[in-house]
């Protein structure tokens, strides 16, 4: 294990350390799991259970479960209908800055990449958010590159305050922060925090994060817990599938969410399943994760944790997204532009990656209704 990835002594001066045993448990379980030790008989036994434990979760992620995807889909759909009905929440991401201090070799925002950098002014943010709101959406996810210099806490807080004029549910996907920073954003109007660990393999993590604050594995790992300590209503998790062993990363991500849910039972928990996508100046060779494998991961998570939200992003094709929302996904993005400024006019900064589903909010809504699903624009009322 690489010292800089996990040693508290390597924390930057601004980074808060919290006492938590969740990371050690997750990393240990991830390293010990042997997916090839499970059989189809084990899979069928798990699917007959009412409630699953962490080992059962691993069984459903194993290669042995690939022949039982139809049975898994039936079980997952039953769980989804039981807890969410036929509703699907719609939201859109808004990228307000693409400046970044990290050197992640798989990312278009890599600080060494030659791209058009930009940061939206508060006036431009207001225009973008007003335009998004006019589409009918009431939920937004605010994203930045990971730069405390160009996107400081006050700037992100201003973004949230502006969003509060137009949206009823506001998420942030920015660099990891301290609990007090999350408390400030919550006071500004933010509801939930998304942080992708990218990979739960500490050695690989240090290899693909060459420089910058993101190299500190444990500070990133504990971000969701600090967000809950800071008063956030919900937190979202994800591993970047294709970066490493996707089965082990999905397992670790699910266990991470599961253990945090048990520690903070009031928290709203959701998972995302992003696959690596091409990006400007990109040359990173990925371990290809097929749509079949992606589906297996999403099904396993739904059966393991029936109450969690599952998000399928515009990284995936329209056909795949339209089908999976009828089975296990409960949140889907719409009207997406991953560049800086693109909802009111041409973008002024390059995007983080290429998307596969560019459909508008109306097109997504119509597709859901055609499948007898209920598009939900608001499931939260501020009081």
Which segments of 261-373 are extended strands (E)? 268-272, 309-312, 331-333
Tell me the domain boundaries of the chain.
Answer: 3-376
Specify the DSSP class assigned to residue 9.
Answer: G
pLDDT, residue 5, reads: 45
How large is the C-alpha radius of gyration of the chain?
20
pLDDT, residue 281, reads: 55
pLDDT, residue 352, reads: 78
CATH class of 3-376: alpha beta
Query: What's the maximum distance between 2 C-alpha atoms anywhere in the chain?
Result: 60
Per the listing, tokens 């769980």 go with: 79
pLDDT, residue 344, reads: 81
Instruction: Identify the three-state secondary structure at position 109.
Output: coil
Q: What pTM does this model have?
A: 0.94
Task: Please check whether residue 375 is in contact with residue 137, taking contact to mean a CB–CB distance below 8 angstroms.
Answer: no
How far is 116 from 41, CA to CA, in rounded Å?
Answer: 53
Task: Please check whether residue 132 is in contact with residue 122, taking contact to mean a CB–CB distance below 8 angstroms.
Answer: no
Of the candidates 25, 84, 203, 136, the residue with the CA atom closest to the CA atom of residue 360: 136
Task: Please check whether residue 241 is in contact with residue 198, taking contact to mean a CB–CB distance below 8 angstroms.
Answer: no
How far is 279 from 354, CA to CA, in rounded Å?
Answer: 6
The parts of the chain modelled with pLDDT lower than 70 are 1-9, 278-286, 378-383
Q: What single string gives the DSSP state of each residue in 360-378? A: -HHHHHHHHHHTT-EEES-
pLDDT, residue 297, reads: 98
């Amino acid at each position: 294990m690489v010292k800089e990835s996990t040693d508290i002594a390597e924390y930057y001066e601004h980074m808060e350390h919290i006492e938590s045993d969740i990371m050690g448990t997750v990393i240990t379980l991830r390293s010990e799991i042997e997916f090839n030790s499970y059989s189809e008989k084990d899979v069928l036994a798990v699917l007959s259970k009412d409630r699953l434990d962490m080992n059962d979760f691993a069984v459903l992620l194993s290669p042995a479960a690939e022949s039982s995807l139809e049975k898994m889909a039936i079980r997952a759909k039953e769980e989804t209908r039981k807890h969410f009905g036929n509703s699907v929440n719609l939201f859109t991401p808004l990228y307000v800055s693409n400046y970044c201090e990290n050197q992640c070799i798989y990312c278009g925002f890599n600080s060494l990449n030659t791209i058009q950098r930009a940061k939206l002014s508060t006036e431009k943010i207001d225009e973008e958010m007003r335009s998004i709101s006019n589409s009918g959406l009431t939920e937004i996810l605010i994203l930045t590159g990971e730069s405390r210099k160009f996107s400081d806490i006050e700037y992100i807080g201003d973004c949230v305050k502006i969003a509060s004029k137009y949206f009823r549910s506001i998420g942030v996907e920015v660099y990891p922060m301290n609990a007090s920073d999350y408390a400030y954003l919550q006071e500004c109007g933010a509801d939930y925090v998304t942080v992708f660990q990218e990979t739960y393999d500490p050695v690989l993590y240090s290899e693909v994060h060459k420089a910058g604050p993101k190299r500190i594995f444990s500070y990133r790992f504990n971000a969701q817990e600090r967000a809950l300590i800071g008063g956030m209503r919900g937190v979202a998790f994800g591993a970047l599938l294709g970066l490493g062993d996707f089965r082990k990363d999905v397992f670790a991500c699910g266990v991470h969410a599961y253990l945090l849910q048990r520690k903070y039972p009031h928290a709203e928990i959701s998972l995302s399943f992003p696959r690596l996508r091409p990006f400007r100046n990109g040359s990173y060779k990925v371990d290809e994760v097929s749509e079949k494998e992606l589906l297996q991961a999403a099904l396993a998570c739904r059966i393991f944790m029936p109450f969690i939200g599952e998000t399928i992003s515009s990284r995936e094709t329209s056909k795949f997204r339209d089908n999976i929302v009828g089975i296990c996904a409960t949140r889907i993005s719409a009207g997406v532009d991953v560049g800086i400024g693109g909802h009111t006019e041409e973008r002024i900064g390059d995007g983080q990656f290429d998307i596969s589903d560019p459909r508008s909010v109306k097109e997504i809504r119509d597709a859901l209704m055609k499948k007898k699903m209920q598009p939900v624009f608001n499931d939260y009322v501020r009081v």
